[in-house]
Chains A and B, each alone.
Chain A
Amino acid sequence: DTAVSQTPKYLVTQMGNDKSIKCEQNLGHDTMYWYKQDSKKFLKIMFSYNNKELIINETVPNRFSPKSPDKAHLNLHINSLELGDSAVYFCASSKQENEKLFFGSGTQLSVL
């Protein structure tokens, strides 16, 4: 059983489109995150949620909207995709905010 699963693994789309990435964790963790990793491997936090409540929103354009229907799911919707959005997006979860992160396998987003 995959602990943190995200779909799709690859996403290729045109500029201006809207897309979503889904994430689910079966670890019973309270905190979930979205990280963006650019081509230079820099892993930057975008959002964190604790028990469905937004904790961190790191100056991410409002084209990005996270949604947490319950504490096991954190989805990411992106409107009006731009070339600069191309990156690998990782979902992660942790028991508490200061504890080990469990990462999903990543979604490689390519905006053409």
Chain B
Amino acid sequence: QKEVEQNSGPLSVPEGAIASLNCTYSDRGSQSFFWYRQYSGKSPELIMFIYSNGDKEDGRFTAQLNKASQYVSLLIRDSQPSDSATYLCAAYTGTASKLTFGTGTRLQVTL
């Protein structure tokens, strides 16, 4: 079982719709969670991070964390073609002092 799992996609949503990206993690000791966006041929860049159960909103992005279910999600409202990229979920585990990435979900926002 992978430590951080994501559906590889592609997830296709029409422009203006809500894109929902999901991630599960296996290590209950994971303390903080990150969403990175990676455009093709570029390096990952941080979109959101979340430490506590519940929702965290930043502009069009909302991160959701449910530690009991070991589940993290990222919602993108009013999706734009420029949101088309691969979204990487990552979990930080303090005991191992490391950040583990999922394999990413490719998002395609269609016109």
Chain A residues within 8 Å of B, Cβ to Cβ: 35, 40-45, 48, 55-56, 58, 90, 97-98, 100-101, 103-106
Task: List, in ascending order, chain A residues with CB within 8 A of B32's CB.
Answer: 98
Which residues in chain B, 60-101, are within 8 Å of chain A measured between CB atoms? 86, 88, 92, 94, 96-101
Interface size class of B (residues with CB under 8 A): 20 to 34
A86 to chain B, nearest CB (A): 16
Q: Which of B11-19, B20-28, B40-48 contacts A (4 or more CB under 8 A)?
A: B40-48
CB pair A41 B98 closer than 8 Å: no
CB pair A41 B97 closer than 8 Å: no
Q: Is the interface of A mostly helix, strand, loop or mixed?
A: loop
Task: List, in ascending order, chain B residues with CB within 8 A of A105's CB.
Answer: 42-43
Contact with A97, one of B49, B97, B100, B103 (Cβ below 8 angstroms): B97
In the complex, A44→B79 CA distance in Å?
29
Name the residue on B nearest A108 (C-beta). B41
CB pair A48 B43 closer than 8 Å: no
In the complex, A45→B102 CA distance in Å?
11
CB pair A56 B43 closer than 8 Å: no
In the complex, A65→B32 CA distance in Å?
29
| Contact flag A44-B49 (CB < 8 Å), given A90-B43, A97-B92 | no
Contact with B97, one of A43, A55, A103 (Cβ below 8 angstroms): A55
- Is B31 an interface residue, CB under 8 A from the partner? yes
